């Protein structure tokens, strides 16, 4: 191993103070701080319809040229898909995002934890099904149900939204339990 340059060596004769490690930037902030990539990623996650580079740049508060570069990179990664060529428009790739969620669930929780979460969300979804006397949240007319039950439209809407969330969670948890920990989340394997 080579000796460091003299200007990089500590002076044994100086009685210098050790560095104040508490004043240093937390490594977590360096990795996940206010970075351009994060701004564009957040903008892409917020897309509800196809958007141009200009649209994404505006959402991210960054320049259009940078948006084009990040959108190309995100397309290569599978985070977005190109919808049109001229002008180039992109939409978020929900399948990729779901795959990431499944992988995160597999990484962070044991099968027993996932089974517990699945049981709770399944019971929650079943409870909503019974409450609305319907097979799915899409089959519920919010205004008709509110009128028939004397509840506010907002309260009924919140319950229908919670039911949709429970069903999405059931789907993700089932996929996490039926996919291999290192495999593709769409690949079904025996548990």
Q: Which residue has the higher pLDDT, 26 or 45?
A: 45
Same domain, 107 and 170: yes
Same domain, 79 and 148: no
State how far the Cα of 139 lies from the Cα of 160, in Å rounded to an integer: 10
How confident is the model over 125-152, as pLDDT tens digits? Answer: 999 999 999 999 999 999 999 999 999 9
How confident is the model over 53-92, as pLDDT tens digits? Answer: 999 999 999 999 999 999 999 999 999 999 999 999 999 9
Same domain, 108 and 59: no
Question: How much is the pLDDT for 36?
Answer: 87
Same domain, 85 and 102: no
Residue 140: asked if its preceding bond is cis (omega within 30°), the reply is no
Q: Give the residue numbers spanning the domain of 166.
A: 96-178
Contact (CB, 8 A) for 44 and 90 = yes
Question: How much is the pLDDT for 93?
Answer: 93
- Can you list the positions of beta strands (E) in the chain? 51-52, 80-84, 89-92
How confident is the model over 94-124, as pLDDT tens digits? Answer: 999 889 899 999 999 999 999 999 999 999 9
Q: Which residue has the higher pLDDT, 138 or 186?
A: 138
Same domain, 130 and 173: yes
Same domain, 108 and 132: yes
Average pLDDT for residues 22-49, to the nearest whole number? Answer: 74
Question: How much is the pLDDT for 26?
Answer: 57
């Amino acid at each position: 191993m080579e000796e460091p340059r003299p200007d990089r060596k500590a002076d044994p004769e100086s009685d210098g103070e050790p560095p104040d490690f508490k004043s240093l930037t937390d490594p977590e902030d360096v990795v996940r701080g206010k970075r351009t990539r994060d701004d564009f990623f957040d903008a892409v996650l917020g897309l509800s319809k196809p958007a141009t580079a200009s649209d994404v740049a505006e959402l991210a508060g960054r320049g259009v040229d940078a948006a084009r570069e990040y959108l190309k990179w995100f397309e290569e990664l599978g985070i977005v898909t190109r919808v049109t060529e001229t002008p180039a428009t992109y939409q978020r790739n929900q399948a990729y995002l779901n795959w990431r969620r499944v992988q995160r669930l597999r990484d962070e929780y044991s099968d027993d934890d996932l089974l517990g979460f699945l049981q709770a969300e399944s019971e929650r979804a079943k409870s909503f099904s019974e409450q609305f006397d319907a097979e799915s949240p899409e089959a519920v007319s919010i205004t008709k149900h509110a009128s028939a039950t004397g509840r506010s439209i907002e309260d009924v809407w919140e319950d229908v939204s919670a039911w949709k969330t429970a069903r999405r969670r059931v789907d993700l948890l089932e996929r996490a339990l039926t996919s291999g920990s290192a495999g593709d989340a769409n690949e079904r394997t025996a548990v």
